[in-house]
Amino acid sequence: MERRRTDAAEVARRTVRSADFVSCDQAFIDCRTPGSDRKENYSMIGRGVSQSAGQVVNLEEPHGFNVGAAAMPNGVVNNLHLHFTAEVFLCFRGEYTLRWGVDGEEGELVLREGDIASVPTWIFRGFTNTGPDDGWLFTTLGMNDTGGIIWGPSVLKEAAGHGLYLSADNELLDTVADGALGDDVELITPIADHHIAALRHYSPAEMRRRIAAHDELAWSSKALLDHALPGGGARLALVIGFGMTEDRDQEPVVFNPHGHNIAWLRAEAERGVLRHRTDHNQVLMVKDGEWEVTLDDGEPVTVRLGHRDLLSVPAGTWRTLRNVSGGDATMVVVNDGDGRVLLEWDEEVVKAAADAGVGVDHNGYLAPYDLIPRRR
């Protein structure tokens, strides 16, 4: 695995604290539509699907996926639109009602704090904040280039009444601020009825299977090689894809390809994940508690992360995670790719686990150390 150096300046650049988030209230064409005009859009990693040239992106380099967020007061609506790549909602606070279908009437489901929902590609979806004003919804989007979005025809029509249009290359045009459109401007064409008719329909039962409710998560206490070692012992709950679990019996809630995988990680005080690395880009998103993450390629650099803070860990970097809270702490771990994320453990961790009777078999899963053939 390629060795990657991460000095203090690089770690600081890759640390995106909640205080660093910059909202854009003109990210989308419905930003003047009554009932949708108080949305705040954030792009922490990658531009996502923002249609505003003024959108601030905290970390622009490609990760294989994008991370953003939506914040809006109670009752405010995110209008119906369609994505080409995966869109995942991670409800970190409050309550949101998700609806889908071109008219939003095919079904509704409620997301509460700690729930994660994967919305299928190529269907129209929208959501409303039905909880407190300080609700917070992170989003992950598949791939580096998301392709943007397709708005429902009614959304485009209403936006035009407020002087907002979309160019053919998905740029937001504001005739109130910039004057009339030029004759040479090509506008996006609303999706045709025959294309709408060909879209797949999802029942509420089908959509419910794509929601990982926080109170229904399946946690594994033996997901990682260091589970019985001092300082290790973090538990994993798989949401999307098999990710980095080493528990052969653990399965995710959602299986289909997203271009990234997502899992919850939880640890008791002073426990976490011992020194390891992967060949995948990884983003850590703190939900509860405080964590210390040490990136160790040359001189160790430690960063302390709190609620809603993000850390981008580059592929090939050694890292150690430790819960420094007084009680349990949780975070979301996002890795790029659709396959499994195989871990390379520090030699001292491997030796200590072997002494405890545990090893990793040739399929990358935990097994009794005595039963694993030794390489000659």
CATH superfamily name and code, 21-212 = Jelly Rolls (2.60.120.10)
Q: Where are the domains of the chain?
A: 21-212, 217-371
Give the separation between CA 195 and CA 193, rounded to whole angstroms.
5
Give the separation between CA 174 and CA 50, rounded to whole angstroms.
15
CATH superfamily name and code, 217-371 = Jelly Rolls (2.60.120.10)
Which residue(s) pair with 98 in the sheet?
109, 127
- Provide CB contacts within 8 A for 24, sequence distance 6+: 40, 41, 42, 43, 50, 52, 54, 55, 56
Does the reported pTM lie above 0.85?
A: yes
**Tokens encoding 114:** 């700690």
Give the separation between CA 309 and CA 288, rounded to whole angstroms.
10
| Tens-level pLDDT at each residue, the chain (376 residues) | 555 668 999 999 999 999 999 999 887 888 898 888 889 999 999 999 998 888 999 999 999 999 999 999 999 999 999 999 999 999 999 999 999 999 999 999 999 999 999 999 999 999 999 999 999 999 999 999 999 999 999 999 999 999 999 998 888 899 988 888 988 899 999 999 999 999 999 999 999 999 999 999 999 999 999 999 999 999 999 999 999 999 999 999 999 999 999 999 999 999 999 999 999 999 999 999 999 999 997 789 999 999 999 999 999 999 999 999 999 999 999 999 999 999 999 999 999 999 999 999 999 999 999 999 987 6
**Hey, do 21-212 and 217-371 end up sharing a CATH topology, with the first three levels equal?**
yes
